[in-house]
Structure 1
Amino acid sequence: MNAEPLASILREAAVVFLSRPGLAGTNADPDEFAEQNRKVISHALATVPALRSRVSASLCTSRRPADEQALATVVLSPQDDMAVAGLRLAEILTREQAARQSQRKRFAEKAKDYQARLETARGRERNAVAELAQISSALAEVEKRSEELDTQVAALQRRLADPRSLASALLGILHRESSREETSEDRDPRNTVADKVAPLRGEQAAAAAGITPEALYTALQNLIAPRLPSRPRAVAQVRERHLRVRPLGGAREIGGSCMLVEAGGTRILIDAGLRPGENAGPPRRIGIALEGHLDAVVVTHAHTDHSGFVPALAEKLPGLRVIATPETCALMPRMWADSARLMSRREELHRQWGSEGEALYGSDAVQIATERCEDLPVGISRTIGDLSVELFPAGHILGAAGVVLGAGDQRVVITGDISGFRQETVDGYSIPESAREPDLLMLESTCCFEEHTSRETRVSDLLRAVEDVHAGGGRILIPAFALGRAQELALLMSKHLPHVPVLVDGMAADISAAFERITRDRANPLRILDGRVRRAQRPADLSVFTQGVVITTSGMLTGGPAIAWAQEILPDPRSALFLSGYQDEESAGARLLQLSETQAPTVTINDRGLKKDLPLRARVQMMRLSAHADKRGLLEIVDEVRAREVMLVHGLAHRQREFAKILDVRGHVCADTSDWH
């Protein structure tokens, strides 16, 4: 039955009323008229049989439910008393129906209220679960960092108990003059030993010890590297002391850098890096180094492709010394710890899939390698057996150094990764007098066949692109190498685009904090995480941070937080992903760039072994800010060093061949990238 039992009867009666001459032409709505004149119409139905007859005749043609039909029969009866009884019954039914409707409305409102409360409770539950996941993730990250810090602290405590390590650190402190702001002359190693050891700190320390600054310097050097008793210099002995260099990795490829240098009974490595890729491996010919004893490994800088295999060597070789600049010694343990964690994760995945893939080293090896680190400031020569070693600034990243090796009257210069332009975090290279006119220059050739536009132009292009995307309401993801590139990008954004919010995620944030610690006592300390640039908080920021720049690892999109951010950003046509550095041909970053250039609709992302297809709508572009010297820069280095022979390493073979032709035309002698003596 309808909510109003008499609705159809009253409406038909209203039609009859409106058809009377007195109301004709009013164009009144029958339903409204019935509602407004209910009592009059009901009284007329009870007292006027003719009205009931006309309404009954109108309703007989319509099909109605049986209960409404029965009520109409009674109300529209020819007998007045039956009609009155029917109307009373209809009124009772109407009141009951109204009461039921009111009750249903109250129940509906309560149900709606309960539903709202339920949704609120479910929302709170979802938020609680998300917060719990975030807290769990943060706790896991804190636990991971705590374990890494415990390892590093334990190793540093052991280093503090080592007189040679203490002497090395003290020599590094005396080597820096902090009373005035650093200049380019201060950073030139030619102006360091004589000009910096003696003044201020050196004089004060020497006075406290009751000796001259020169005597203090000599004593520290002897403590670090005790002089061996002199031996007769027979002809055979002189020949034995001749330098021999053997590239063991990173010769005709980029990554896995490793050079074996031998003289007399001394064997040292310059770098011991990992080859890039998802399954990072050791230097290709590292077995040659392990055929005999090794005295030391000198690390040019802390990038994993130059330092990542050192813990495996330190664990295997008890007497191995690890020598690098103070900055590199401070940065390597964090890089090693991350490599150990990634290798452990890959090993676990291999076990799950029943395949082979053993980690090269674990946290114990990281601790051992950290304990073995010896600071060697630039510009100071250190003797290792029959070899002398001196480091010089190479630019590239914080702490990066080239190496000058000497044995008898022979010298070899190994640049490591090198650059001549000033960056936000480091100046360019500075070639010392000791590195000029050597017998051999081993020159990195990463960008030997590229001619980069000026750094100012490249920076300007990047900043303009970031500004465009930000103004359009999008996010910009910049996968970057955790060490060097991420800090450079963060400082550029903070300096030139202070209105654009910036997040630094993953290990890039940890290394940024390390940069601040390492430089805090300098005249111009680096301030990276300064409020405008802050550490990302995942997973919350994945959805909350909707406009700005995200700088995170890994630089080649092979893993790390960049994968989680890419899943959020790549489907968004307002956003962009800018690749900022070298992309290995097999890397995910190189594949993404190729897909974007061919306008592919989707991209497959590998997230911890699970592959996901994503819409590819975001702008993808290479915005390279190389920290390597290009062709012109490398030619300037070769011209400045003026070596008898030049060997190209750490580059692609076909590019090296073309660059060697240019060197030949310019009058330089190129040695084959192979064993040299």
Structure 2
Amino acid sequence: MTSDPLLPILQAAARVLLSRPAMAGTEHDAEQFAAERRHVIIDALIKVPALRNKIRGELELRRDQPELDASSTLVLSTDDDVVRAGLRLLELLNKSDTVRETLRARLQARISGLRSKLEMEKGRHEHTVKALQSAGNALVDAEKRAEELETQVAALQGRLHDPRVLASNLLAVLQPSPGLTRDSAEARDPRNERLDGQDRSPVVVAAEIAGIEPDSLVTALQAIISPPQPHLSPQVTVSRERTLRVRPLGGATEIGGSCVLIEAGETRLLVDAGLIPGDPALPPRHIDEALSEPIQAVMITHAHTDHCGYVPALATRFPDLRILATPETTALMPRMWADSAKLMGERERLHRRWGTDSEPLYQRDAVELTARRCEEVPFGVTRTIGDLTVELFPAGHILGAAGVVVRAGDQRVVITGDISGFRQETVDGYSIPDSAREADLLVMESTCCAEEHSSRKTRVKDLVRAVEDVYAAGGRVLIPAFALGRAQELAMIMRTRMPHVPVLLDGMAADLASSFESVTADRHSPLRIFGGNVSRAERPEHLDLFTSGVVITTSGMLTGGPAIEWAARILPEARSALFLSGYQDEESGGAKLLRLVEDRASHLTIDDRGTKKEIPLRARIEMMRLSAHADKRGLLDIADEVSARQTMLVHGLPRRQEDFRQILGVRGHRCVATGSWQ
């Protein structure tokens, strides 16, 4: 604050007054006197010209205070009116300094208030932007679901106009699966039940309505599906022997991109055509070796992308390609294909922006085309494809998963696909048919051939206990899970064993849960995933408002999707937890997180839309494996039950496969190298 401009004059006046004889003998400080007698001194300055003269003399001796010149000119004037005016002016200036400081303080407070309001408005703006983004995401999700429904409707309409596909799917509904046990999931399927408690199968009733014999109806449908081959004249020779030839084209000594080529005579059949996971996803490793000649059909063991993701590319290349799978797999595959097409399209747009090439393997229109051509094949029912006959059997693993028995003459090859023997919430274990026993070749997956898992019951119990601990402490649990199979399995575990714990399903996992319910709706015991304590997540509201419970979402390896958004909020919470539930690729976010935990790191760095973010690691982080693959003991049981003349291992890692071959050899099984077989 500026100093009082009158103060030097008042102090000079005080010194003059204190020097008078009347003040002799008293001890007074001029500064104190000036402060205490301010009004008295000012009154004296106005009324006593002699005092002003004395002060002028006093100030003449103190020229070290140049600031006195302006004020002394007014206050010490010989004109009383000038003195009065000068004193009022100096008093006003003194007060104005105080006023300025007061105004400055008030202005500063006002500025602080405005800044607070600005921050509040910024927060509201950000919230509004997020809400708009959420609404936009919700709209995109709604549009995506609408597109998927349109694809399904178009596929169904397409099937109605394709006689072969229509006949195949009609036969799948009418023809019961033979040899089913009463407690199996397939036996509970109403399509396999006798009607009205009578010994009259659906095909018998349909034949009666059509006015023909049941065998004639089945024969007619089979003829539409696989038209009889024209008889060859004696002069015509067969260019290839009708013996089975087997060659893995993908997923042989790696996990992903599964594909096996089977040939007999002029017939070429693929069992699976999957993508190799990654960015970008790649086709089966050696698929080019099969594309130089026509392929009559592809038989899909189950709807995981690493087993079916390349099918739309094949369907585009081969217009007459038959696509066969179980009814459940047929229903689930289009959703997986649509997601792959979307991801490939996004990657293409990103690369185009940077001026690089990235051609997608297929686009959305190929998904619709492929979905139209899918033929449903129930378990235990044979289909003829040229010189080959195929039959599917339950493989456990996930809903609709199948193993395949392929026959050419008296030769048989069994391909397990991904397989498991234990009962899960969504599917039973495998069931080896008699047609598979003592086959010429068993092509067996070996994902977990080096592992010995604890019992399914124990693993589920451990998971439930861990979730209970976190929930009881008031925290929330994030479980990144594979969208198809694992997520639905986890949700049903939570629903049946922990009905008091709120559970959210998010992302593609929620969409496929709805598909599980619709696919099994006609069963006597349909799958119920949503309802009770399980509901669909709504973002961004639930990200912060859902403070206690379980979140199950994609991606299972923490490579993207909603799991990243949830992890950014849950990992910093000391009372919460993140449980990884399945296999983690070495380069995945999940594997990186586990390494950070092992190294006792304090933060996880993530890339959020081009911005690096540091996330504190305070939550409990553990691996809770719920594998849907048979382990070493389970695979040995399968090999023993099939008891094939030779066994080939696929879908695994080379060193583990080699060790497992030695174990199979000790058990009396003859193993062949992973490669061409005849």
**Are the counterparts in 1 of residues 176 and 192 from structure 2 also a CA contact under 8 Å?**
no
Q: Which amino acid aligns with 2:163?
A: P
Matched residue SS, 2:454: coil
Q: Which amino acid aligns with 2:161?
A: A
Counterpart position of 2:676: 675
Q: Which amino acid aligns with 2:150?
A: D
Counterpart position of 2:443: 442
Residues 343-382 of structure 1 mapped to structure 2, 5 A cutoff? 343-382=344-383
Counterpart position of 1:73: none
Residues 330-341 of structure 1 mapped to structure 2, 5 A cutoff? 330-341=331-342
Question: Could you tell me how far apart the structure 1 residues matched to 2:184 and 2:172 are?
Answer: 18
Residues 213-292 of structure 1 mapped to structure 2, 5 A cutoff? 213-231=214-232, 237=238, 240-292=241-293
- Which has the higher mean CA deviation after the structures are superposed, 317-326 or 141-150? 141-150
Deviation at 1:286, TM superposition (A): 0.1
Change (3 A) 1:314 1:235: closer
Q: Which amino acid aligns with 2:141?
A: E
Counterpart position of 1:491: 492
Question: Could you tell me how far apart the structure 2 residues matched to 1:109 and 1:414 are?
Answer: 78
Indicate yes or no: 2:599 matched with 1:598: yes
Deviation at 1:503, TM superposition (A): 1.3
Question: Could you tell me how far apart the structure 2 residues matched to 1:424 and 1:506 are?
Answer: 21
Matched residue SS, 1:557: coil
Change (3 A) 1:401 1:607: farther
Residues 397-546 of structure 1 mapped to structure 2, 5 A cutoff? 397-546=398-547
Change (3 A) 1:429 1:553: same
Deviation at 1:104, TM superposition (A): 12
How many residues of Structure 1 are paired with residues of Structure 2 in the alignment?
A: 644
Deviation at 1:594, TM superposition (A): 1.7
Q: Which amino acid aligns with 2:129?
A: V
Q: CA RMSD in A?
A: 4.7
Counterpart position of 1:187: 186
**Are the counterparts in 1 of residues 601 and 617 from structure 2 also a CA contact under 8 Å?**
no
Counterpart position of 1:391: 392
Counterpart position of 1:42: none
Change (3 A) 1:119 1:659: closer
Deviation at 1:99, TM superposition (A): 13
Give the structure-2-normalised TM-score: 0.81
Deviation at 1:116, TM superposition (A): 8.3
**Are the counterparts in 2 of residues 155 and 368 from structure 1 also a CA contact under 8 Å?**
yes
Question: Could you tell me how far apart the structure 1 residues matched to 2:569 and 2:99 are?
Answer: 54
The C-alpha deviation readout for 1:24-60, integer Å capped at 9, x for no partner, is xxxxxxxxxxxxxxxxxxxxxxxxxxxxxxxxxxxxx
Q: Which amino acid aligns with 1:350?
A: H
Counterpart position of 1:64: none
Deviation at 1:438, TM superposition (A): 0.9
Question: Could you tell me how far apart the structure 2 residues matched to 1:430 and 1:188 are?
Answer: 12
Question: Could you tell me how far apart the structure 1 residues matched to 2:123 and 2:344 are?
Answer: 38
Matched residue SS, 2:274: coil
- Which has the higher mean CA deviation after the structures are superposed, 589-598 or 229-238? 229-238
Question: Could you tell me how far apart the structure 1 residues matched to 2:347 and 2:543 are?
Answer: 25
Change (3 A) 1:192 1:519: closer
Counterpart position of 2:50: none
Question: Could you tell me how far apart the structure 2 residues matched to 1:457 and 1:194 are?
Answer: 34
Q: Which amino acid aligns with 1:158?
A: G
Counterpart position of 1:663: 664
Deviation at 1:612, TM superposition (A): 2.7
Question: Could you tell me how far apart the structure 2 residues matched to 1:406 and 1:334 are?
Answer: 31
Deviation at 1:294, TM superposition (A): 0.4
- Which has the higher mean CA deviation after the structures are superposed, 201-210 or 119-128? 119-128
Matched residue SS, 2:292: coil
The C-alpha deviation readout for 1:498-531, integer Å capped at 9, x for no partner, is 2221111111111000001101111111111215
Deviation at 1:150, TM superposition (A): 2.4
Counterpart position of 2:160: 160
**Are the counterparts in 1 of residues 181 and 187 from structure 2 also a CA contact under 8 Å?**
no
Counterpart position of 1:12: none
- Which has the higher mean CA deviation after the structures are superposed, 527-536 or 247-256? 527-536
Counterpart position of 1:586: 587
Matched residue SS, 2:323: strand
Between the aligned residues of both structures, percent identity stands at 61
Deviation at 1:620, TM superposition (A): 1.9
Can you give the 5+ residue segments of structure 2 that lack an aligned partner in the other structure?
2-95
Can you give the 5+ residue segments of structure 1 that lack an aligned partner in the other structure?
2-95
The C-alpha deviation readout for 1:423-478, integer Å capped at 9, x for no partner, is 00000111111111111110011111111000000001111111112222322211
Residues 73-152 of structure 1 mapped to structure 2, 5 A cutoff? 124-152=124-152
Question: Could you tell me how far apart the structure 2 residues matched to 1:562 and 1:122 are?
Answer: 27
Matched residue SS, 2:128: helix
Question: Could you tell me how far apart the structure 1 residues matched to 2:658 and 2:122 are?
Answer: 66
Deviation at 1:200, TM superposition (A): 4.2
Question: Could you tell me how far apart the structure 2 residues matched to 1:669 and 1:477 are?
Answer: 45
**Are the counterparts in 2 of residues 382 and 388 from structure 1 also a CA contact under 8 Å?**
yes
Deviation at 1:277, TM superposition (A): 2.0
- Which has the higher mean CA deviation after the structures are superposed, 535-544 or 478-487? 535-544
Change (3 A) 1:611 1:449: farther
Question: Could you tell me how far apart the structure 2 residues matched to 1:113 and 1:567 are?
Answer: 32
Q: Which amino acid aligns with 1:153?
A: V
Change (3 A) 1:582 1:157: same
**Are the counterparts in 2 of residues 273 and 309 from structure 1 also a CA contact under 8 Å?**
yes
Counterpart position of 1:30: none
Deviation at 1:292, TM superposition (A): 0.6
Q: Which amino acid aligns with 2:591?
A: A
Counterpart position of 1:44: none
